[in-house]
Amino acid sequence: MRTDAVSNHYCHFFDDAAFHETERPGFRRRVITGEHLQLCFWRIAGGATGSYLHHHTDHEQLGVLVRGQLDFRIGEPDELERVVLSAGDCYLAPRDVWHGDSVFIGDDEFGECWILDVFAPPRDDLRNQDTLGTR
Amino acid sequence: MRTDAVSNHYCHFFDDAAFHETERPGFRRRVITGEHLQLCFWRIAGGATGSYLHHHTDHEQLGVLVRGQLDFRIGEPDELERVVLSAGDCYLAPRDVWHGDSVFIGDDEFGECWILDVFAPPRDDLRNQDTLGTR
């Protein structure tokens, strides 16, 4: 998956070392922050636990499934129906929309679920995870 | 790649019919527009031509490679160096940064290059391609 990488200020090459562990075991992420948007690239071990239902009052969130599957809830907190997303599926959570309570199903190659979360505007609490500062 | 899709207002399942041809042969896209960001999911046939160097004066652009490879230029227009991105690589083009002049290399499964472009704020010229209106 590595390319013939050249140094380029605007490009961020896939790099296993750029994914940082979080406080939740099995959850690794890489954050890239721009002016108006912020990418949070998740690599989550299949079966990892710790997802809870939450919402963002000031941030819109787009999520795209790249590997594995995400079995989660999105909508009203008392909505019981679960949704299963696979590679190529996505969700768009406007501000204040509840989502989470997720079960992560790993893919065949890495045993991981890869989710590209994009926040707009960027979240201040993720900036300290930003990989730009360590490049 | 299809899931056991249930109807959900916030989820957008992978659907071949949701990708629309553009004026450039070999370029299909699906657009999903939010309040602060907009996803343009590209499926571009390997070898498709028509990419030119351009920039966006009012929009930040994140691009993530999902399948295939993108051999392109990003930076100053007189910068000759090309960059090759593969699956898992991404670029972040701030406003006014030139990019394009792209060569698209298809993947083994579809013969396509899949790029997730996310614009913030949303581009008005892409709203008429929005799949939300046709769901």
For residue B47, the SS3 value is coil
Mean residue pLDDT of chain A comes to 89
Residue B78: what pLDDT? 77
Which residues pair with residue A65 across a beta bridge? A115
A47-106 pLDDT, tens digit each: 999 898 999 999 999 999 999 999 999 998 777 689 999 999 999 999 999 999 999 999
| Out of B3, B69, B83, closest to residue A11 by CB | B83
Percent over 90 (pLDDT), chain A = 79
Q: What is the nearest CA distance from B3 to chain A, expressed in angstroms?
A: 6
Of the ranges A53-57, A114-118, B95-99, which is most confident?
A114-118
Mutate to test the interface with B, among A7, A11, A14, A41 (most CBs of B within 10 A): A11
Give pTM, 2 decimals. Answer: 0.91
B70, closest residue in chain A (CA to CA): A3
Q: Is the pLDDT of residue B79 over 90?
A: no
Which long-range contacts does A27-31 make (Cβ < 8 Å, 24+ apart)?
A: A29/A129, A30/A131, A31/A126, A31/A127, A31/A129, A31/A130, A31/A131
Mean residue pLDDT of chain B comes to 89
- B58-70 mean pLDDT: 97
Predicted ipTM > 0.85: yes
Bridging pattern class, strands A60-67 and A90-93: antiparallel
Helix, strand counts (H, E) of chain B: 0, 10
Q: Is the peptide bond before A122 cis (omega within 30 degrees of 0)?
A: no
B20-33 pLDDT, tens digit each: 999 999 999 999 99
DSSP string, A92-114: EE-TT-EEEEEEEE--TTTSEEE
| Out of B92, B94, B95, closest to residue A32 by CB | B92
Measure the CA–CA gap between B110 and A74, rounded to whole angstroms: 31
Q: What is the DSSP-derived secondary structure letter of residue A123?
A: P
Measure the CA–CA gap between B120 and B36, rounded to whole angstroms: 6
DSSP string, A3-59: ------TTEE---GGG-EE-SSTTEEEEEEE-SS-EEEEEEEETT------B--SS-
